[in-house]
Amino acid sequence: MRILFIGTGDIGVPSLERLLRSGKHEIIAVVTQPDKPVGRRQVLTPPRIKVTAEAAGVPVMQPERIRHAAGELAALKPDVAVVIAYGQILPRAVLDVPAHGCINVHTSLLPLHRGAAPVQAAIRAGDAETGVTIMFMDEGLDTGDILLTSRIPIAPEETGGSLHDKLAAVAPDAVERALDLIASGAPPRMPQDHARATHVGKLTREDGHIDWSRGAMEIERTIRACNPWPGTFCLLPQADGKTRHLKIHAARVVPHGAACAAGGTIVAADAKTGLVVSCGDGLLELTEVQIEGGRRMEARSLLRGHGMETGTRVL
């Protein structure tokens, strides 16, 4: 089949590489977002999807808005479009271009965690498993009929970064199976149970600001989910009345710990006991942190050179 690949995020690279290697289908073009400035120097940088496609000699299109490219896409006469982490909602004019429709690779077990950040949502929710769902796209947000799902467990120590990489590795097999089913002429179409749907928006840096009124287990899951992006932090009051950012890279729930002060109160702060904060329910030890202007380190090492008083309430 003639395949149009539409994607921007790194999570789609392994799937594109698999399709290019297999030779079962012809990748007629890749559509991705325009190059963007990256880093402090704002160097104009192409998406890895573009780099991969160009290395294989595949034409690349980078429209500001994909709806403006509907005519060009139709001229390519694709049989199927494979869409993964593109970053724009496809309008009906584009959805109708491929003869057999557009399929989306969504990194959750739909209808759970529709939206822009399903990987982090599964960890924050405490789900035991997640996976990749291949669905036929419609004009809704992740509401189309399901073609197939591929499930994986979520490990107790899972972070947003590690789960992203696992799902990126699972996706190529799922995409190949989905295309085989479409090529067979009778792919399954299972309507979603919309009553069970949950939704998650695009993450921002502010989503990493810890709410200490939450339970210790929920906060610990949030810290893992937001690692590496957008990261989690709290504000540490200083003697001069100002605050400093304290990034939290890792933490653990104190076994059988009971909240003994208002949420956000430091209840232990020395190299022997560690940095322990009271939460809305339970206690959380911050194990790996980074104070504003400093480097990432174990919290116990930080406490040897940067005193913190018990009773201080982080914000």
Q: d(Cα 165, Cα 48) in Å, to the nearest integer? A: 15
Question: How close are the terminal C-alpha atoms of the chain, in Å?
Answer: 55
Q: d(Cα 142, Cα 231) in Å, to the nearest integer? A: 26
Q: Helix (H, G, I), strand (E, B), or coil: what is residue 128?
A: coil
Q: d(Cα 200, Cα 221) in Å, to the nearest integer? A: 16
Q: Which residues contact 32 (CB under 8 A, 6 or more apart)?
A: 6, 7, 8, 47, 49, 50, 53, 60, 61, 62, 86
- What DSSP line would sit under 45-87, residue for residue? E--HHHHHHHHTT--EE--SSGGGGHHHHHHT--SEEEEES-S
Give pLDDT, residue 38.
Answer: 87
Largest distance between two CA atoms of the chain? 71
- CB atoms near residue 307 (< 10 Å): 9
Which class does domain 2-200 fall in? Answer: alpha beta
Give pLDDT, residue 239.
Answer: 79
Domain 205-305 has CATH 2.70.70.10: no
Residues of the chain with CATH 3.40.50.170: 2-200
Give pLDDT, residue 272.
Answer: 85
Q: Which residues contact 42 (CB under 8 A, 6 or more apart)?
A: none
> CA separation (Å) from 149 to 117, 131, 184?
18, 7, 18
pLDDT in tens for each of the 315 residues of the chain?
A: 999 999 999 999 999 999 999 989 999 999 999 999 988 889 999 999 999 999 999 999 999 999 999 999 999 999 999 999 999 999 999 999 999 999 999 999 999 999 999 999 999 999 999 999 999 999 999 999 999 999 999 999 999 999 999 999 999 999 999 999 999 999 999 999 999 999 999 999 999 999 999 999 999 999 999 999 999 999 999 878 789 999 999 999 999 888 788 999 999 998 888 999 999 999 999 999 999 989 999 999 998 877 788 999 999
Helices 13-22/48-55 angle, 10° precision: 10
The pTM of this model reads 0.95
Residues of the chain with CATH 3.10.25.10: 205-305
Q: Which residues contact 115 (CB under 8 A, 6 or more apart)?
A: 121, 141, 142, 199, 200, 201, 202
Is the backbone of residue 282 left (phi > 0), alpha (psi -120 to 50) or beta? left
Give pLDDT, residue 222.
Answer: 98
Give pLDDT, residue 308.
Answer: 86
Per the CB < 8 A criterion, the answer to whether 272 and 264 are in contact is: no
